[in-house]
Amino acid sequence: RKEVEQDPGPFNVPEGATVAFNCTYSNSASQSFFWYRQDCRKEPKLLMSVYSSGNEDGRFTAQLNRASQYISLLIRDSKLSDSATYLCVVNVRDFNKFYFGSGTKLNVKP
């Protein structure tokens, strides 16, 4: 079973739409959660960390549900520039490494 699973998409949405991605993780000892963004042929970059109480950064909102072992990312008022692949990343307590999902591709169209 994969440590982190994501719907690969693609999610094709018009500009201005609201879109949400989910990511599930398998290890209940997971302690740190992140969303990274990866543009085509570029390195991943941190979009936002995900905190237990949920957190917001402008148009982006991240939520953590420990009971069901998933995290979510909500993007409001989608922009063309939001088109990218969004990677869910998890760190498990006592393990010195990060586990990456395979990514969800978002296409925002005019």
Partner 1 sequence: NAGVTQTPKFRILKIGQSMTLQCTQDMNHNYMYWYRQDPGMGLKLIYYSVGAGITDKGEVPNGYNVSRSTTEDFPLRLELAAPSQTSVYFCASSFQVANNEQFFGPGTRLTVL
Selected binder of partner 1 within 24, 25, 73, 103 (CB under 8 A)? 103
Residue among 75, 47, 45 at smallest CA distance from 59: 75
* Candidate segments 18-26, 59-67, 73-81, 83-91, binder of partner 1 by CB under 8 A: 83-91
Q: Does the N-terminal peptide bond of residue 14 adopt cis geometry, omega within 30 degrees of 0?
A: no
- CA 19 centroid distance within chain: 12
**Residue 35 to residue 18: CA distance in whole angstroms:** 17
Binding to partner 1 by CB under 8 A, coded x per residue (else -) over 39-78, reads --xxxxxx--x-----------------------------
* Candidate segments 13-21, 38-46, 62-70, 72-80, binder of partner 1 by CB under 8 A: 38-46
